[in-house]
Structure 1
Amino acid sequence: MLIRVAVAPSGFKESLSAQSAAEAIATGVRRVLPDAEIDLIPLVDGGEGTAEAMAAASGGRLVRLRATGPTGEPVPTHFALLGDGETAVVEMAAVAGLSLVPRELRDPGATTTRGVGELIRAALDTGARRILVGCGDSGTSDGGAGALQALGARLLDADGRELPHGGRELHRLDRIDAAGLDARLAATSIRVACNPFNVLCGERGVARVFGPQKGATPAQVEQLAGNLEHWAAVLTRDLRVRTDLRTGTGTGASGGLGAGLAALGAELLPRFEVLLDDMDLDDRLARADLVITAEGALDHQTVRGKVPAEVARRAKRYGRPVLALAGTIGEGARQVYSAGVDAYGSILPAPMSLTEALGRGGEFLTDAAERSLRMILIGTRLSSRESRQTAVSVSGTQRPSSVR
């Protein structure tokens, strides 16, 4: 019998792109089911690999250049021009992502989104009329301040001096001079693909939720949280923003980049609403007998807008079984069952250093897919045996003779 397997993973941060993860899983599946029909559906969530994947899917191309990286030094980067010739995709992770911040320099109070603004300006220079900004995998927490500076806004302290980069400096912000903003922004549609659960401020604000992952100490987390509150207030006042920049949907995306771009009139949208429109994902999941998804970590955040939860939710519309594989299993991972995941597991075979785990991600993912498929087949065979035994038992039961 032909078995159809849909492989729909996201990338593994600093280890595997979504495409590489899909190929690794497929290799493991073929070790067990060499004749299986495998549909590779690498999924992007706005983070690493988004621009490249969307360029390939649309028949577009990558534009390569250098821009300011998260630590303030120039880095090689890129954005995509899609096949329609009018849409550019700016992937913030390609210029301000965590993977671009050396471990010894991971301080979200010091990193900047300036390069994101530089990529937007470069996209405008190509004549793009629509810009899609993918948020995810960020190494910053400056509220998008650096991006606004690159686009022409002046962030001034009480003495009229321009603020240096980094979220740590935002408490000194006195006013924003928007006179120099790039005039082309007013005639350009900017859509931000983001996690709608991420908000700028409050107890679930981006500094408190993601600051520690980016290297912030508890004291720095509270400093950044206060600075972003101040940033939201000044943005709202000086740019005459009518929407809620503190707790509005997606305002905390990529260390608050969502809020900064929203203040310029960008539309913040759930990332899968933007990124999966042209992938025919639902029909491809419906045709599968088994769906395998994956990401770097499964934990309580997975159900809050991550790829495995979205894949599982859609697959369950058609009653398809879903297996999720992950590099690490964290607190709250069991919540993925409520999203439609039927089983999950870690790909790591033994305790090891992070460096080794990242370097051998493809190998471990392939082996984990193979192990999981073999376990699934054991269950399938046992189920089939039980069904046969039940059928034999029923067929062998003698009916009582009729009373005459």
Structure 2
Amino acid sequence: MKKIIIAPDSFKGTMTSIEICNYIGERIAAFLPEAQVVKVPIADGGEGTVDAYLSGIGGTRRKKTVTGPMGTPVEAEYGILPDGKTAVIEMAAASGLPLVDGPKSPMDATTFGTGELIADAVESGCTKIILGIGGSATNDGGIGALSALGVRFLDADGKAVTPDGKGLAQIESIDESGLCQALRGVTLTIACDVKNPLAGKNGAAHVFGPQKGATPEMVEALDAGLLHYNGVLTRHTGVDRKDKSGMGAAGGIGLSLEAFLHAKMLPGIDLILDTADFDKKIQGADLIITGEGKIDGQSKQGKVPVGVAWRAKKQNVPVVALVGDVGAGYEELYEEGITAIFSTNKAAVPYEQARRTSVEDLKFLTESLLRFYCAVR
């Protein structure tokens, strides 16, 4: 085996994609010192997106104190690429679920901090923004982010609503006269890895609300709130976006960003693979090792392992996925180009217990695979 590509997503809450590349690379060097190892840390628009871009083409990091998802200040950072004009922002850095310290409630969570990061990037001279929207704690339809950028969402009395999930149902009119003028010339691309519509059983609240802490009652209220806001927005802009693919991602933030900033939603995995010149890097490869925290049938909707497999399939390169957990529907992924799937979990234990040994488990699995390969070679 002469050339091995390591191209994983992060294991959320345990290891970054760069750390995984290094851990796997260490084991390969120990057992196959003659192999050429190419590390390509990947993300699909969620956590690790900034790292993936900066690792792929370079750039700098910029820190900014912004409003966290529950209203308290958080220290967030984003990347500025070498051209000095392109910012890469992770929604999770300002409005992410791991930033919630205490009870989770998407009714009270806001994307205001994400808007503050966009504003800071524009003030820094950036004219192109790539926004990864995975890992959010919010379900506010993006009104928090747009409020930070100068748009006012008003109730029946002409007062500004709270820029969070519960404010959606109170919106009766929109005043965009205060929208930051510098945004008019900015190109905003949303890196999105899901295709869910805004509302309904497959929408933002029903599919993603529970994992953000929403009770069944909250889910119904948030779903109704998003539909209500969409109705007001449709009257304001003349365009109904509720059934567009991807509008349900990240609590519906794409709804507002498309309406007011003309944002375009693109598959995050393709954006990053193209930036990393992935197709060229895998030419002549003997094996690609990829992975993510959990793999299942949903991974076909643009998750890293399948996105990698699609590219590899065109060049007939086998793909092995090392994952934390294997869920229902994984069998379908073999048709997408994944050759084999292995779980790092050595025992059926709760996540909080498994995450404490995740590094050792990944190294153990990698070493086991390499021992097997060396034995049969």
Structure 2 residue aligned with 1:368: 365
Which aligned pairs between 1:84-103 and structure 2 lie closer than 5 A? 84-102=83-101
Structure 2 residue aligned with 1:236: 234
Which aligned pairs between 1:137-152 and structure 2 lie closer than 5 A? 137-152=135-150
Q: In the alignment, which of 100, 105, 108 is matched to residue 110 of structure 1?
A: 108
Q: CA deviation at 1:82?
A: 1.1
Does the 8 A contact of 2:321 with 2:341 survive in 1? yes
Does the 8 A contact of 2:41 with 2:55 survive in 1? no
Structure 2 residue aligned with 1:338: 335
Q: Which sections of structure 1, spanning at least 5 residues, go unmatched?
A: 382-404
Structure 2 residue aligned with 1:261: 257
Q: In the alignment, which of 295, 298, 311 is matched to residue 298 of structure 1?
A: 295
Which aligned pairs between 1:108-257 and structure 2 lie closer than 5 A? 108-195=106-193, 197-238=195-236, 240-242=237-239, 244-257=240-253
Does the 8 A contact of 2:141 with 2:226 survive in 1? yes
Cα distance in 2 for partners of 1:72, 1:120 equals 17
Cα distance in 2 for partners of 1:128, 1:37 equals 37
The amino acid of 1:289's aligned partner reads D
Structure 2 residue aligned with 1:283: 280
The amino acid of 1:69's aligned partner reads G
Judging changes above 3 Å, is the alpha-carbon distance between structure 1 residues 373 and 241 closer, same or farther for their aligned structure 2 residues?
A: farther
Which aligned pairs between 1:61-100 and structure 2 lie closer than 5 A? 61-100=60-99
The amino acid of 1:247's aligned partner reads D
* Number of equivalenced pairs: 376
Cα distance in 1 for partners of 2:125, 2:118 equals 11
Larger radius of gyration: 1
Cα distance in 2 for partners of 1:377, 1:312 equals 24
Does the 8 A contact of 1:197 with 1:305 survive in 2? no
Does the 8 A contact of 1:20 with 1:362 survive in 2? no
Q: CA deviation at 1:377?
A: 4.8
Q: CA deviation at 1:113?
A: 0.5
Residues 295-324 of structure 1: per-residue CA shift (max 9 Å, x gap): 010112111110000111111111111111
Residues 209-248 of structure 1: per-residue CA shift (max 9 Å, x gap): 211222222232222222111122222222x153x42121
Structure 2 residue aligned with 1:323: 320
The amino acid of 2:69's aligned partner reads P
Q: CA deviation at 1:56?
A: 4.2
Structure 1 residue aligned with 2:10: 11
The Cα RMSD (Å) is 1.8
Cα distance in 2 for partners of 1:59, 1:282 equals 19
Q: Which sections of structure 2, spanning at least 5 residues, go unmatched?
A: none
Structure 2 residue aligned with 1:272: 269
Q: CA deviation at 1:24?
A: 1.6
Structure 2 residue aligned with 1:308: 305
Residues 161-217 of structure 1: per-residue CA shift (max 9 Å, x gap): 211132133111111111111111112111111125233223321222211222222
Q: CA deviation at 1:91?
A: 1.3
Does the 8 A contact of 1:163 with 1:173 survive in 2? yes
Does the 8 A contact of 1:251 with 1:262 survive in 2? no
Which aligned pairs between 1:13-52 and structure 2 lie closer than 5 A? 13-52=12-51
The amino acid of 2:224's aligned partner reads G
Judging changes above 3 Å, is the alpha-carbon distance between structure 1 residues 207 and 100 closer, same or farther for their aligned structure 2 residues?
A: same
Does the 8 A contact of 1:250 with 1:269 survive in 2? no
Report SS of the residue matched to 1:127: coil
Report SS of the residue matched to 1:105: coil
Cα distance in 1 for partners of 2:280, 2:295 equals 25
The TM-score, its normalising length taken from structure 2, stands at 0.94
Does the 8 A contact of 2:141 with 2:168 survive in 1? no
The amino acid of 2:110's aligned partner reads T
Q: CA deviation at 1:13?
A: 1.0
The answer to which of 45-54 and 119-128 deviates more is 45-54
Structure 2 residue aligned with 1:384: none
Cα distance in 1 for partners of 2:154, 2:209 equals 25
Cα distance in 1 for partners of 2:55, 2:311 equals 24
Cα distance in 2 for partners of 1:145, 1:46 equals 20
Does the 8 A contact of 2:6 with 2:37 survive in 1? yes
Q: CA deviation at 1:250?
A: 2.3
Cα distance in 1 for partners of 2:330, 2:184 equals 43
The amino acid of 1:115's aligned partner reads G
The amino acid of 2:304's aligned partner reads V
Q: CA deviation at 1:351?
A: 2.7
Cα distance in 2 for partners of 1:100, 1:252 equals 21
2:59 is equivalent to residue 60 of structure 1: yes
Judging changes above 3 Å, is the alpha-carbon distance between structure 1 residues 372 and 110 closer, same or farther for their aligned structure 2 residues?
A: farther
Does the 8 A contact of 2:111 with 2:138 survive in 1? yes
The TM-score, its normalising length taken from structure 1, stands at 0.88
Report SS of the residue matched to 1:79: strand
Q: CA deviation at 1:94?
A: 0.8
Report SS of the residue matched to 1:295: coil
Does the 8 A contact of 2:269 with 2:303 survive in 1? no
The amino acid of 1:357's aligned partner reads A
Judging changes above 3 Å, is the alpha-carbon distance between structure 1 residues 280 and 168 closer, same or farther for their aligned structure 2 residues?
A: same
Residues 250-292 of structure 1: per-residue CA shift (max 9 Å, x gap): 2222221111111111122222332222212112223211111
Does the 8 A contact of 1:286 with 1:315 survive in 2? no
Report SS of the residue matched to 2:109: coil
